[in-house]
Amino acid sequence: MKLKNTLGVVIGSLIGSLSLSALAQGQGAVEAEIFGKRYFEDSTRDFDEGNLLGGSLGYFLTEDLALVLSYGEYHDIRGDVTNKDIKGSSTGLDAVYHFGEPGPGLRPYLSGGVAHQSIGQAARSGRDHTTQGVLGAGLKYYFTEHFFARAGVDGLYNFDRGDTEWLAGVGVGVNFGGTKPAPIVAAPEPIPEPEPVEEPPQTVRVELDVKFDFDKSVVKEESYGDIKNLADFMNQYPQTSTVVEGHTDSVGTDAYNQALSERRANAVRDVLVNQYGVGAERVDSVGYGESRPVADNATSEGRAINRRVEAEVEAQVQQ
């Protein structure tokens, strides 16, 4: 592959990325870069130092770790004796770990991987093909969320010959296509229930609170006096009406407790209507099951308080 073709692919990626509607660093992001590096060859080679020009494409597996595929071609390398212009290329695959938080600013990195070098030989014809281990370090500076410049150094170990070479270079690139974790938003503070509006002084009220034994809907004898007081008040003020509300504790299923609360409410309604003469059309009943506790269901005392029937009646009196 010719260098101009390689650079064309990389530059095309850079330009294409600018048209994306959602650019972001983070997991799943892609980085495209063009670079220039100075090549410092091992002293056993019979040629001068040169340049490596090319590009890379990386993919972020996480916010910090990326896999980077690179390709570059060697230029300006000449043999010490023959003054021959030596050509070559290098293809590499690196894992790059970034430090710091994604976003504008400085992010140091460390890298490691392998490369395949194909380069001409100064003293004889043919090409030298070698496999190299690569360790690198450097700095990236993100001018914005998406555009960055890089400077770094790579150490190359030749597995075939056992010698070491170096690359030092710079690059510019673009980051696009990633996703960031959604920010953690604290749950809003609950809005307190408004305080009930106090009734005007001319309003009088009678309240009823009848307790029941566990799993029972029979009105206990000690509750009849309270029920009679409510009935007397309603008979004194015949324009009044009421809703008898039944409740349970939390023991049992929702469906069972709903039916039990309705039986309790109906039992108190029957005493008001059938024993104390309140008109049936003036008394409704409803069950709320275990949905409206007034005490802690985790204790036996609290559950006893929640096994109840409530009612209230209000009347306007002349001042």
What are the pLDDT digits (tens) for 22-72? Answer: 446 788 889 999 999 998 876 566 667 788 899 999 999 998 999 999 999
Burial of 101 (0-12, 13-18, 19+ CB in 10 A): exposed
The predicted model scores a pTM of 0.50
Domain co-membership, 166 together with 73: yes
According to DSSP, the residues that pair with 153 across neighbouring strands are: 137, 168
Cα 195 to Cα 280: distance, rounded to the nearest angstrom: 33
With the C-alpha atoms ordered 20, 21, 25, 26, is the resulting torsion angle positive or negative?
Answer: negative
Q: Across residues 256-280, what is the average pLDDT?
A: 94
Domain co-membership, 26 together with 100: yes
Q: Going edge to edge, which strands form the sheet with 203-211?
A: 203-211, 308-316, 242-246, 283-287
Could you list the beta-strand ranges (E) of the chain.
30-40, 50-60, 65-78, 85-98, 105-120, 127-142, 147-158, 164-176, 203-211, 242-246, 283-287, 308-316
Domain co-membership, 7 together with 153: yes
pLDDT in the model for residue 49: 79
Question: The domain containing residue 272 runs over which residues?
Answer: 203-316
Looking at the domain assignment, is residue 197 inside a domain?
no
What are 239's two structure tokens?
Answer: 């324009």
Secondary structure (3-state) at 270: helix
Counting the structural domains of the chain, the total is 2
Domain co-membership, 163 together with 277: no
Looking at the domain assignment, is residue 196 inside a domain?
no
Domain co-membership, 239 together with 163: no
Cα 117 to Cα 125: distance, rounded to the nearest angstrom: 16
Give residue-wise pLDDT tens across range 160-189.
Answer: 878 888 899 999 999 887 776 566 667 788
Domain of residue 221, CATH code: 3.30.1330.60
Domain co-membership, 13 together with 63: yes
Q: What is the pLDDT of the chain when averaged over all its residues?
A: 84
